[in-house]
Amino acid sequence: MQKEIIIAGFGGQGVLFAGQVLAYAALDNGKEVTWIPSYGPEMRGGTANCTVVIADEEIGSPLVQNPPLAIALNLPSYDKYEPLMRPGGVLIVNSSMIDRTPKRGDITEILIPANEIAEEIGDKKLTNMVVVGALIASLPELTIADMEQALKNHLPVRHHHLLPKNYQALQRGYDLAREQLAVPQQ
């Protein structure tokens, strides 16, 4: 098994942290993992993306050209990565910031109003955890419990007061994605 994931958006949307949490969850579960960040020179507002590769065996190359799984948090990322998706792949789309219709019919696009959900929970910085929860619905190698444990294990203790809201964000994204996929709950 090898799963390749791209997460993309603007700097400041938590793109790199989302990838780190996925990587830590997989690593904590005995998987082989690579995590490669890529970002522009701007701290906030510039482009940011990361690739995460999760495998059962040693990873030959951490580079991902045609991902089977991706998250697009903004329109430029959607425009860039939708055409690169592997046929049959799953693209998590932040419908709060992306208002165009899909151009491809050979991939599954899951529309998640991540910004609105994060604001309902009480912190707009949770947008990344909402979409990660949605991704987990299409990544059977990891569970919501794995993600929660990774957050608890790797988030600095001074931020542990934020864990309940992060858990809620993960679960809301996961539930909404499962509804769209029309797959029975695990």
pLDDT at 44: 58
Q: What is the pLDDT of residues 36-66, one digit of tens each?
A: 988 766 555 667 899 999 999 988 877 888 8
Average pLDDT, integer, range 14-29: 93
Q: What is the CATH number of the domain that holds 166?
A: 3.40.920.10
Specify if 49 maps to a domain.
yes
Residues of the chain with pLDDT > 70, as a percent, come to 94
Helices (H), the chain: 15-28, 75-81, 114-121, 127-136, 144-154, 163-181
Specify if 116 maps to a domain.
yes
CA nearest neighbour of 141 among 27, 50, 60: 27
Q: What is the pLDDT of residues 138-180, one digit of tens each?
A: 999 999 999 999 999 988 889 899 999 999 999 999 999 999 9
Specify if 57 maps to a domain.
yes
pTM of the model as a whole: 0.89
DSSP state of 32: E
How many domains does one find in the chain? 1
Specify if 99 maps to a domain.
yes
From edge to edge, which strands make up the β-sheet containing 47-55?
32-39, 47-55, 2-10, 69-72, 90-94, 108-112
Q: Which residues contact 28 (CB under 8 A, 6 or more apart)?
A: 146, 149, 150, 153
Instruction: Tell me which amino acid residue 107 is.
Output: I
Q: How far is it, in rounded angstroms, from Cα 77 to Cα 160?
A: 30
Specify if 52 maps to a domain.
yes
CB 117, CB 169: distance < 8 Å: yes
pLDDT at 105: 87
Specify if 186 maps to a domain.
no
Average pLDDT, integer, range 27-38: 92
CB 24, CB 56: distance < 8 Å: no
How many Å from the N-terminal Cα to the C-terminal Cα in the chain? 20
Q: What is the pLDDT of residues 70-90, one digit of tens each?
A: 999 999 999 999 999 999 999
Specify if 6 maps to a domain.
yes
Q: What is the pLDDT of residues 94-107, one digit of tens each?
A: 999 998 888 888 99
pLDDT at 46: 67
| Full residue range of the structural domain in which residue 143 is found | 2-181
Q: How far is it, in rounded angstroms, from Cα 162 to Cα 96?
A: 23
Q: Which residues contact 136 (CB under 8 A, 6 or more apart)?
A: 142, 143, 144, 147, 170, 173, 174, 177
Specify if 159 maps to a domain.
yes
By DSSP bridging, strand 2-10 and strand 69-72 are: parallel
